[in-house]
Each structure stands twice: as C-alpha cells, then as structure tokens.
A and B are shown apart, each in its own frame.
Chain A
Amino acid sequence: MREEIITSGRLNPNIDPHLEIWHWHIPLYLFLGGLAAGILFFASLYTVLGKENKYIGAVRRAPVIVPFLLIIGLAALFLDLRHKLYFWQLYTTIKIQSPMSWGAWTLMAITPLSFAWVAIHIREFFPNWDWKWTLLKELEKFLVKYKKILAWIILYFSVILGIYTGILFSAFNARPLWNTSILGPLFLVSGLSAGSAVIILFSRRKRERINFAKIDIMLIGIELFLIVHMFMGFLASTEVQIDAANLFLGGPYTAPFWIFVVIIGMILPAVLEFLELKKFHIPVIIPVILVLFGSLMLRFVIAYAGQMSRWLY
C-alpha cells in the first residue's frame, strides 16, 4: 500500500492542527448583516417602486430592528478583534482589494442610514412622537422630502452589504471551500430570505404576508439551486476543492449541513409556507424561526467547515 505520512513540528495555537481563528463572532455578524441587508433591501425596493402604502410591514415596520441588528453585529466584529485598541486603523485607509476594508466602510455608511430610515418611520410605532429639538425636526423634514433618494442609496448599500458577507469568505483562496464566487450570491439570497421572513412577522396585512411567503419560497428555491451549483463546481474542480466538498458529502459537516441548513432551514419552512398559501392554518412564527435558524446555521457551518479545508502539500 502506498503511504504518505506528513509530520509537522508546528503547533501554533488556533492554527494547528487546523485553523480555528474565527469563532462565533464572524458567522453571527454575517447572519445579522445579511438579515439587515435583506430587510433594508425590501424596505427601499418598495419605496422606490412607490408601493410603500401597500407594503407597510416591509417599508415602515420591519426596518425598526435593523439598527439593533447592525449594532449587535458590529459589537461581535469588535469582540473578534485581537488588537482592539487599534480598531480605528480600519478607518484610516480604503483598500479596494480587501473585502474586510470595504465591508467596514459599507457598515459605516449603512448603519447611520438605517437609523435615518427608522427615524422617519418612528410614528408607525409611536404616533405622537415629537423630536423636541428644531434641528431634529428640520432633519426629519429634509429626509422625508428626499425619501426616494434615501431609498435608492439604501437599496445599493443593502445589496453591497448582502453580497459582501459572502465575498468576505470567497476572497480567500487559501481555504478551498470558501474560494467559490457562488458564496456572494448565496449569502445575499439567504439574507433576503431571512429578511422576508422577518417582514412576514412584522406585517399586519394578510395580503402582504402572502406576498412575502411567495417571495420567500422563491428565494429558498434560488438558494437550493445555488447550493447544487456550488457542489457541481467543487466536484468538477481541483483535488483540494473536491476534498472541500467532501466535508459535506460524507465528511464531518455532512449532518449539520444537510439536516440543519438544507432540510430544517430551507425545505421545511418552504413547505410550511406553501401549505399556508394552500389555506392550511400554520402559525406564522414557525416558518419564520426555521428560516432564520437555517440562515444562521448556513453561516456557522460554512465558517467552521471552511477553516478545516486547506491546500495539501
């Protein structure tokens, strides 16, 4: 029998025997960022299309949680840094080739924009809200006047935020599992699906809920299509990428991926949403939680499995 034994004298913490440098912070942030991007995408899209009165849940209600999602996500990112006192160095330069850099700048832009969006819709939750200071009142007037422009800007930034969560991984050619451009669209669609699930939860109108259930079923279909393509790409590629795919096809991440992400997080909620469209009575919270769970698990599984995949030499 032909044998190959590799012995390495290196045992650096978090590097060997396999990479474990990114823990829960990164996948949690990617989930929250993707979810925020999904909610903002639909909020700004329906505003741009002039349908804000038809989609009140999407435009006015669901975005209220976005600033919180982004702040928790940013906190997770900050906790992940190991040289925390120097975090401001991120904002001293723009490095086009570094997804981490333009992600930091995108967050810098979209976080205040999400606050502005919630501020101009605050009366949806507090009808008698008063801004007290004239400056804030003037600012609100200004934002309401140019709401369409604001919506266009948020629309662009939400797509960048959604795609960037995947590109952060796919830009690393050292980790063959991540090194596929499918991850960008896959994480974007997964974020949109999570966003539409939260909108279903926030919506008070049946018509809107049904529309978003339809949108979500379509998005889950696209996700499954992208996952199949991801594996086709891996299996038709080099040995290291075939090995990466095998982490999910018999390897240690097979059960977490296919059971938690694909079956519980995608197929099951899509079936429940479909049954709801067929007039079966299903508590809306169940598919919503399953979609969010699937979206979170997708990022956790990809983040951890990716760090196990490597080049062999």
Chain B
Amino acid sequence: MRYAMAIDTKKCVGCSDCVVACQTENDVPIGYCRDWIVEITDGTYPQLETEIRSERCNHCDNAPCVRCCPTGASHYEAGGIVTVTHNKCIGCGACIVSCPYDARYSHPEGYVDKCTFCLHRIKKGQQPACVEVCPTKCMYFGDLDDPNSDVSNVLKKRKHKTLIPEAGTKPHVYYLI
C-alpha cells in the first residue's frame, strides 16, 4: 500500500477551501496551516501563464525529516504516510530545518506538526478533508499500489510532476500539468 495525492493545476482555482477544511478538521492553531495555496505567474507580458497549486507535506519515500529525527517521533505510518508522535517529539526543530518544502511548523504546544493526509479519516475509509471539500474536484487521493484507485487512474492518463524531485526526497504529492 502506498498512499498518494494528485492535484490538478488546471482545475485548481486557489479558493483555499482545502486550507480552511484542514484547519477545521485538524484543529490547526490560528495563524498556522498544514496546507496552503501557491500561485506562480511566469512569462513575458502579454504571454503570461499562471499555475495554482494546493501544497502540503509530500509524504516522501525518502523523507529527510524522518531521517534526522533524533527520537523517532517522525516516522512512516502504514502506506508511507509521514507523521509525528507528539509525546516523543522534543521540539528540537531538526525536522523543520530538514524539509525542503517547509511543510512543518512548531505547534504552540511545543511539538512539531504537519499534514497527516488525515490519517484518522483514512482509517475510517474516508477521504482527507481537503480532498472531500474541493469545489472543483481537483484533488485525487488513493493507493498507488492499487491500479484502479482514483490517483493511479489519473496519473496514468495525465502528465504530472512532483516538487523539487532533485532534492531526492521521492515526494508523493503529484501535480497534474
């Protein structure tokens, strides 16, 4: 089993519904976010191109945060989801520094926090909150090892990319381009 997410940059309108859904679902402290919207405009006027992405932890296969954690608080859950065990985390910040995507933050209570792919929902057979609420249905979530899952199907059909693949992290959030 290998959980992954695919996000369609052609369909995403940057409404931030995923951001708000995540903050509500996961009780994210005010002023913090586990997922966020990035808008990139590139080109020479008038030929400008905009890409809108909903970004979050990439749940990497070769996660530097898991590697550098001195206590084992950052670890891989079944299906390759990277999570933090709160009462093992000492708040040293090594994982925050190690993430090329800056996807982690220090929770006001002291431990390090980040996207969990809504592990608690997946266990109940539900989709992550961000995927569930997306009004343009631009997000696909599922098991990469299952050839019939939503994410496997869309990745078969569409051209896609990952963020900073050259950092060697083997990310598992794909962007359809």
Residue of A whose beta carbon sits closest to that of B65: A174
On whether the beta carbons of B36 and A10 are closer than 8 Å, the reply is yes
On whether the beta carbons of A80 and B92 are closer than 8 Å, the reply is yes
On whether the beta carbons of B89 and A21 are closer than 8 Å, the reply is no
Q: In the assembled complex, which residues on chain B have CB atoms less than 8 Å from the CB atom of A9?
A: 14, 16, 19, 33, 36-38
Q: In the assembled complex, which residues on chain A have CB atoms less than 8 Å from the CB atom of B72?
A: 93, 95
Chain B positions near chain A (C-beta within 8 angstroms): 14, 16, 19, 31-33, 36-45, 48, 55, 64, 67-73, 87-94, 96-100, 102, 104-106, 109-111, 163-164, 166-168
Q: In the complex, what's the smallest C-beta–C-beta distance from A72 to chain B, in angstroms?
A: 18
One of A47-55, A83-91, A129-137, A220-228 at the interface? A83-91
A interface, over-half SS: loop
Report the contact-size class of chain A (Cβ under 8 Å from the partner): 35 or more
Q: In the assembled complex, which residues on chain A have CB atoms less than 8 Å from the CB atom of B71?
A: 86, 89-90, 92-93, 95, 101
| A99 CB within 8 Å of chain B | yes
Between-chain CB contacts (< 8 Å), 27 pairs:
A3-B41, A3-B42, A4-B41, A5-B41, A7-B40, A8-B39, A9-B37, A12-B32, A12-B105, A13-B31, A13-B32, A14-B106, A15-B104, A21-B106, A83-B89, A83-B90, A89-B90, A93-B72, A95-B71, A100-B70, A172-B64, A172-B94, A172-B98, A173-B64, A173-B100, A238-B166, A313-B163
Q: What 8 new A-B contacts, CB under 8 Å, besides A11-B33, A174-B99?
A: A5-B41, A7-B40, A10-B33, A22-B93, A95-B72, A98-B70, A100-B69, A100-B94
Q: In the assembled complex, which residues on chain B have CB atoms less than 8 Å from the CB atom of A100?
A: 68-70, 92, 94
| A97 CB within 8 Å of chain B | yes
Q: In the assembled complex, which residues on chain A have CB atoms less than 8 Å from the CB atom of B104?
A: 15
| In the bound complex, CA of A21 to CA of B96 (Å) | 8
On whether the beta carbons of B91 and A8 are closer than 8 Å, the reply is no
On whether the beta carbons of A19 and B38 are closer than 8 Å, the reply is no
Q: In the assembled complex, which residues on chain A have CB atoms less than 8 Å from the CB atom of B70?
A: 90, 93, 95, 98, 100-101, 104
Q: In the assembled complex, which residues on chain B have CB atoms less than 8 Å from the CB atom of A101?
A: 70-71
| A290 CB within 8 Å of chain B | no
Q: In the assembled complex, which residues on chain B have CB atoms less than 8 Å from the CB atom of A307?
A: 97
Residue of B whose beta carbon sits closest to that of A104: B70
Max chain A CB contacts within 10 Å: which of B32, B33, B97?
A: B97
On whether the beta carbons of A98 and B67 are closer than 8 Å, the reply is yes
| A299 CB within 8 Å of chain B | no
Contact A14-B105, Cβ < 8 Å, known A80-B92, A98-B68, A173-B100: yes
On whether the beta carbons of B64 and A174 are closer than 8 Å, the reply is yes
Q: In the assembled complex, which residues on chain A have CB atoms less than 8 Å from the CB atom of B99?
A: 174
On whether the beta carbons of B93 and A8 are closer than 8 Å, the reply is no
On whether the beta carbons of B43 and A175 are closer than 8 Å, the reply is no
Q: Give which listed residue, B31, B40, B106, B109, contacts A6 with CB less than 8 A.
A: B40
Max chain B CB contacts within 10 Å: which of A7, A21, A80?
A: A21
On whether the beta carbons of B69 and A3 are closer than 8 Å, the reply is no
| A171 CB within 8 Å of chain B | yes
Q: In the assembled complex, which residues on chain A have CB atoms less than 8 Å from the CB atom of B32?
A: 12-13
Max chain B CB contacts within 10 Å: which of A12, A19, A87, A171?
A: A12
Q: In the assembled complex, which residues on chain B have CB atoms less than 8 Å from the CB atom of A11?
A: 31, 33
Q: In the complex, what's the smallest C-beta–C-beta distance from B162 to chain A, in angstroms?
A: 10
Q: In the assembled complex, which residues on chain B have CB atoms less than 8 Å from the CB atom of A87?
A: 90
On whether the beta carbons of B92 and A311 are closer than 8 Å, the reply is no
